[in-house]
Structure formats: structure tokens, C-alpha cells
Amino acid sequence: MYNKKAVMIGIVILVVLLSSPFWVGLFGTDYKETGVVKPNQEACVENAAFMRAQHMRLLNEWRDQALRNENRTYVAENGKKWEISLQNTCMKCHTNYDGFCQKCHLSNSVSPYCWTCHIIPTEGK
């Protein structure tokens, strides 16, 4: 084989580069926290695990119920009543857009376009 040394070095570099995501995953910084600033309220509409996983689906369901069926009240599993409104209910507690919504959306690389129409709360700015 010609240029045995260079070829071998090249192969090693290639293997390291291709497998680099695994090395970063094994020895890199452990990704656990998004640094979300939680609001002061004790509980959200439903429990935290449900909200974390399903909030966008819940918002879509709220939208369809409120706009199409005029069902503008949601009674949660624990019996608490909520007015169905992103701006007037959700954002009443989640007033910190940059600290709450944006922190998590950025670290998960999602860019929902809620705010082209809905108005971001400006409290404390």
C-alpha cells in the first residue's frame, strides 16, 4: 500500500469524526436542565408531566373547543375551572416569556409562531 502512514492516519481521523457524537454524548456535559424559570404558582392547568409533554396539543384542543364549539371554559381533572385563553389565562402565570417559553423552545430547537398574532406579556419589562 502506498502512503500507508498517511492513509492510516486519515482513516483514524475519519472514524473519530464520524463517531464524535457518541463521544460527546458519553463524556460531554450532561444535558438535564433547560434553565426554565418557573412561575410562582403551585400548579398549572393539569399536572406538570402532562403539561410538559402535551401543552401544544392541549392548546390546539383548547383553540378548537373555544373557537368552534364556544366551549370557553375548561374544568380540569382536579375540578378547577379555567377560562380558555392563551393570552388571558396561560400568560397570566407564565409572565416571563424569555425565561419560560423561550428557554425551553430554544434548547429543544423548536420555533412555534404563536407570537406573530398572540401578544407576549410585557409585565416586568
Partner 1 sequence: MNTNRRKFLKVAGLSAFALSSGLAGLGTASDACAQLAPGSYGHGDKTAHAKRWAMVIDTRQFKSAEDYKPLIRACHEAHNVPDIPDNKNIKWMWLDSFEHVFPDDMNEHMSQRIKNAVYPLLCNHCTNPPCVRVCPTQATYKMADGIVAMDYHRCIGCRFCMAGCPYGARSFNFYDPRLYLPKPTNPRFPTRMIGVVEKCTFCAERLAQGLMPACVEAAKGKILFGDLEDPESSVRKALAENYSIRRKPNLGTQPGVYYLI
Judged by the rule CB under 8 A, the positions of this chain that interact with partner 1 are 45-46, 50, 54, 57-58, 61-65, 67-77, 83-84, 87-88, 113, 116-119
| Cell numbers describing residue 76 | 380540569
What are the start-end ranges of the H helices in the chain?
4-27, 48-69, 91-93, 103-107
- Return the number of the residue (34 or 54) whose C-beta is nearest partner 1: 54
Which SS3 state, helix, strand or coil, does residue 73 take?
strand
Query: Which grid coordinates belong to 69?
Result: 364549539
Q: For residues 83 and 98, which CB has a smaller minimum distance to partner 1 in the complex?
A: 83
Cα-trace Rg, the chain: 23
Cβ 79 to partner 1, closest distance in Å? Answer: 9
Smallest distance, Å, CB 55 to partner 1?
Answer: 11
For partner 1, the closer CB: 13 or 67: 67
Q: Looking at the chain, how many residues does it have?
A: 125
* Greatest pairwise CA separation for the chain in angstroms: 77
Measured from the CB of residue 83, what is the shortest distance to partner 1 in angstroms?
7
Q: 64 vs 98, which CB is nearer to partner 1?
A: 64
